[in-house]
Amino acid sequence: AAIDYLEALGMDNVRAHEVHITEHALRRLQEVGARIFGPLDAEVRGGAISFWYKDVHPHDLATILNEEGIAIRAGHHCSQLVMRRYGVPATARASFYVYNTDDEVDALVEALAKAGDVFGS
């Protein structure tokens, strides 16, 4: 069923949407001061964006965002050596794909502001 769904959409359309939504997310996250890990060019990355937001630990961030109805991952994502290289204990990671909208990206950014307020960042 999933393959039929993606084929019906057309993989070129799926990729175009993934690039669009990733560009939007990268732009919005940077606007609010998130530190992005990985390429800033949506053409050379997938829709998963690891980031650090101000001085809020990613686990705390995930808890606050969950209360706002926003699901992200937080942790070292099986990449402890990468975390050490960048000098962070963990990252937050939001993932976007064909089913996500610009409005959902914007809701993430609005929830980040609330988390910053809670932690005084």
For residue range 99-121, list pLDDT tens digits in order: 999 999 999 999 999 998 888 76
Q: How many domains does the chain have?
A: 1
Q: pTM of this prediction?
A: 0.91
CA distance linking residue 78 with residue 70, whole number of Å:
22
- The answer to whether residue 53 scores a pLDDT higher than 80 is yes
CA distance linking residue 117 with residue 111, whole number of Å:
10
Catalytic residues: 78
Per the CB < 8 A criterion, the answer to whether 94 and 51 are in contact is yes
The DSSP secondary structure of 76-113, one letter per residue, reads -TT-HHHHHHHT-S-EEEEE--TT--HHHHHHHHHHHH
CA distance linking residue 29 with residue 105, whole number of Å:
9
Output the pLDDT for position 119: 84
Mean local confidence (pLDDT), 51-66:
95
For residue range 16-25, list pLDDT tens digits in order: 999 999 999 9
The enclosing domain of 65 has a CATH number of 3.90.1150.10
Q: Which two tokens stand for residue 35?
A: 């530190």
Structural domain of 92: 2-118
Mean local confidence (pLDDT), 55-64:
95
